A and B are shown apart, each in its own frame.
Chain A
Amino acid sequence: MPSTHASAARGNKMTDPVSSASAPTPVVTITDLQISLPEGADRPYAVDGISFHLNAGEILCIVGESGSGKSMSANAMMGLLPDLVSPTGGSILFDGIDLLTLSETQLLDLRGKRVAMIFQEPMSALNPLMRIDDQIAEVYEAHGLLTPSERKKRAIELLTEVGIPEPEKAARAYPFQLSGGQRQRVVIAMALALEPDVLIADEPTTALDVTTQAQILHLIADLQKRHGMAVMFITHDFGVVAEIADRVAVMQFGKIVEEGTAKEVLDHPTHDYTRKLIAAIPTLHTGDASAPIETAPALEVIGLTKSYRSGGGFFGGPERIVHAVKDISFKLGTGETLGVVGESGSGKSSVGRCLVRLQNPDAGSVLLDGEDMAHLSGEKLRTARKSIQMIFQDPFASLNPRSKVGRIIAEGPIAHGTPSKQAYARAAELLELVGLDPSAIDRYPHEFSGGQRQRIGIARALALEPKIIIADEAVSALDVSIQAQVLDLLDDLKKKLNLSLVFITHDLRVAAQICDRIAVMQRGELVELGTADEIFNAPKQDYTRSLIEAIPGRQRELEAAS
């Protein structure tokens, strides 16, 4: 392990983590940390008197839903809090020094060298205009270590260590030339460059596909063991916790509600909130998917094809064609939920958008009530769309911030000629149907939480009394407990209104919970289509199998079941 420079720089302040594994020594001790929020926030403190310690050579997972203050505590360690937020009490002891008292220059020396961080979105963590090896060399340069040629050599060694194929080639690449998983590996390589004692990973796998996520988790666990680092791993996903954690701290509203070893917390949660969170995780147990599928199809898709063209403008350059959807056919039964799953870039969203004609398919037909949606236009398309509506992914982008909720829901019916008074009355009913107070009609979207907004989006989709609803990643942006509620609501509505649902998702757990049948997509092609039970318990294709095996926490669930 070529780490002479780093251990020299570090001196002998640290005890060797490996030898102390039997009696864990805390590397970082946080006591009564309090971080205040600016006035007018929903609570006075982002982090309210939390205490915990991070031992050498262990992975501590900080779990919590959005807004629980988990990222704030990590940012406080690095001195990276936003301007309006400041620590008001407590201490973060690292190596006998309180990090909160350090000046910016002292922190500069510490960051990267002793404490390193991995971020959620690898694309924005890398400089798009710099080659990979230059970015890694920059880490050494910032601390004035090594000569330029040594830096390059180390860069390649690091890239090899984090398992990037063809490290010499990758070193000369720009970030956009690498895949999401490879970029995250580069970010990890940069974090490892100076052999830090502590690695903070803030949702490092959230932006990645499930198979890539499994690889990155494996890599982090492996590197942690090899380097004897302490890892503070922040996540919202209990599946990830089950895969990687030694110890777990659960946060809610800025407080730690439960702390313990991974086994204790996952198997015998003591706090109500932890119990609720764990119960909300969709299990991989598929429902009684015996629903007769071959009822009269509500929708029939035949040979749907869509490709995107880019480049090849005035001055030539080869035109780039991406085949997003390649000759896909399926039937959607009345009252059925069909899941479309796949990794990013598999074309699953394009399928959904072609069905409602937000995008025009290149070829194929979409038969709905005997009419071909794919070839309608103008007034006919407008009428046909009444029976096929969509629920969108982002609860914050899918509602017009300047419209009141009532109008958002009533607009559709009004556009189709319903008198406005009647449409608003119906909007109030719909709000009640999706579990919101009808008084919400006179409020603006920003007054609602993510889950509530998604309910408003559902009410809007229902306003035109559609037969089919396309839900494009409808619960992906929600916290797990909210996610469970919205899924229940969708299932409930589906039965009550006899809807057919096309549920597009990357999350196989969600698909297992709600879908009758599942279509697995890869690179624009339909790889496998079968009942949920078949897909999860007897997958026929290798790709399906690799997707299912990559689901975080699956191993533990299987063990618990047997």
Chain B
Amino acid sequence: MKDFWQRFRRNRGAVIGLVLLLAVILIALFAPLLFPQSPWKMVQRPFLPPFDMGQYPLGTDALGRNVIAGLAYGAQVSLLIGLVSTVVSLAIGIPLGAFAGYFGGWIDDSLMRFTEFFQTVPSFALAIVLVAIFEPSVMSIIAAIAIVSWPPVARLVRGEVLSLRSREYVEAAVLSGQKTSTIIWRQILPNTLSPIIVLASLMVATAILLESSLSFLGLGDPNMMSWGYMIGAARTVIRQAWWLSFLPGLAIVLTVLSLNLIGEGLNDALNPRLSRKGK
């Protein structure tokens, strides 16, 4: 653990990413305390520019809503959807990949053809269709994102399991009479953890982008203020008030960037031999 932290710290970008992400998490957690009023509520005249009034440091949007409050509540939505949808896609992808990799043969073939079926459909189009079918809500958005993002997990886990199942310690476990489920669960999966963690951190970032894109198209949860929705709403007034699109965009960029930096740091720390930096 100490080693892990030391190697992680060596990647300066990863540390910056971690600090950024912690800041976003704190803002999301404390949003209701910092901004007790709903972010949907009109508080001032529309198009109040940033830094004009101390009370509303980032100004107001086209309907006079507080932009900074919107950003803070948007962080909640982005992180929630990013995390939960990633957990769901891991829950689909890991068992599928593990079974395919361990058993091989026709099980592998059929599971992989099934996975490819999802991979061949453009993921964003599929997500739009899914959300449009189920009524936009947090649940349906999470489900849609999870359904389009599990195939890479299954592929990764399958590959790892494929190489691990012929290891001598797995053979020893077979000889000692352990059940197949025990072997997969205790001998193989713990050793696939590092690449999964790295992939998961990057998937959270992709999920946030997907959610923002969906909300931008008006397919977000209508009760939740999200960054994508804010950009979408400000799109028509981009010439009068560019900052209304720019600020939530910046929030997305920083959050996604921080997750990618962390992912790379995790990769260096968990797979020290593959570290691209060498020293």
Q: A residues bordering B, Cβ < 8 Å?
A: 83-84, 356, 358, 382-383, 385-386, 389-390, 392-394, 397-403, 408, 411-412, 415-416, 457, 460, 463-464
Contacts and interface: CB of A to CB of B under 8 A. Distances in A.
Given A358-B175, A403-B186, 14 more contacts: A83-B279, A382-B177, A390-B171, A392-B168, A400-B169, A400-B190, A401-B191, A403-B187, A411-B186, A415-B179, A457-B172, A460-B172, A460-B176, A464-B177
Interface string B188-231: 00110100000000000000000000000000000000000000
B174 A358 contact: yes
Instruction: Identify the interface centre among A83, A383, A415, A416: most chain B CB within 10 Å of its CB.
Output: A415
A415 B178 contact: yes
B278 A400 contact: no
A411 B278 CA distance: 38
| Chain B interface SS verdict (over half) | helix
Contact of B176 (A393, A402, A411): A411
16 contacts: A83-B278, A83-B279, A358-B171, A358-B174, A382-B177, A389-B176, A390-B171, A390-B175, A397-B168, A400-B190, A400-B191, A401-B191, A402-B191, A411-B173, A415-B176, A416-B177
A502 to B, nearest CB: 14
Given A83-B278, A403-B186, A463 B176 contact: yes
A397 B169 contact: yes
Nearest to A383: B177
Contacts of B182: 415
B167 interface: yes
Contacts of A84: 279
Contacts of B278: 83
A417 to B, nearest CB: 10
Interface in B232-279: 278-279
B173 A389 contact: no
B192 to A, nearest CB: 10
A387 to B, nearest CB: 11
B176 A398 contact: no
A404 B191 CA distance: 13
Ranked 4 nearest A-B pairs via Cβ: A412-B176, A398-B168, A392-B168, A402-B190
A397 B190 contact: no
A394 B175 CA distance: 16
Nearest to B190: A402
A419 to B, nearest CB: 16
A390 B186 CA distance: 20
Nearest to B170: A400
Contacts of A390: 171-172, 175
Contacts of A358: 171, 174-175
B171 A392 contact: yes
Nearest to B188: A400
A368 B222 CA distance: 70
Nearest to A410: B176
Instruction: Identify the interface centre among B174, B177, B179: most chain A CB within 10 Å of its CB.
Output: B177
A356 B175 CA distance: 7
A460 B186 CA distance: 16
Contacts of B191: 400-402
Nearest to A472: B168
A460 B175 CA distance: 11
B168 A464 contact: no
A464 B279 contact: no
A397 B177 contact: no
B168 A385 contact: no
B268 to A, nearest CB: 14
Nearest to A384: B177
B20 to A, nearest CB: 30
Nearest to A38: B279
Contact of A398 (B169, B178, B279): B169
A392 B171 CA distance: 9
B169 A411 contact: no
A463 B172 CA distance: 12
B279 A389 contact: no
A398 B186 contact: no
A480 to B, nearest CB: 22
Contacts of A356: 175
Interface string B24-55: 00000000000000000000000000000000
A2 B209 CA distance: 67
Contacts of A399: 169
B210 to A, nearest CB: 33
A356 B168 CA distance: 13
Contact of A385 (B169, B177, B179, B193): B177
B270 to A, nearest CB: 12
Given A403-B186, A415-B182, A464 B176 contact: yes
Nearest to B277: A83
Nearest to A395: B168
B241 to A, nearest CB: 52
Nearest to A389: B175
A403 B169 CA distance: 10
Contacts of A398: 167-169, 172
Interface in B99-129: none
A83 B272 CA distance: 14
Nearest to A40: B3
A393 B169 CA distance: 11
Contacts of B279: 83-84
B162 to A, nearest CB: 16
A411 B175 contact: no
Contacts of B187: 400, 403
Contacts of B186: 403, 411
Contact of B177 (A392, A402, A412): A412
A262 B81 CA distance: 72
Contacts of A408: 169
A293 to B, nearest CB: 26
Nearest to A84: B279
A403 B190 CA distance: 9
Contacts of B174: 358
Contacts of A412: 175-178
B171 to A, nearest CB: 5
A389 B177 CA distance: 10
Contacts of B193: 402
Contacts of A386: 177
A397 to B, nearest CB: 5
B63 to A, nearest CB: 54
Contacts of B169: 397-400, 408
Contacts of A394: 168
Contacts of A411: 173, 176, 178, 186
A392 B169 CA distance: 9
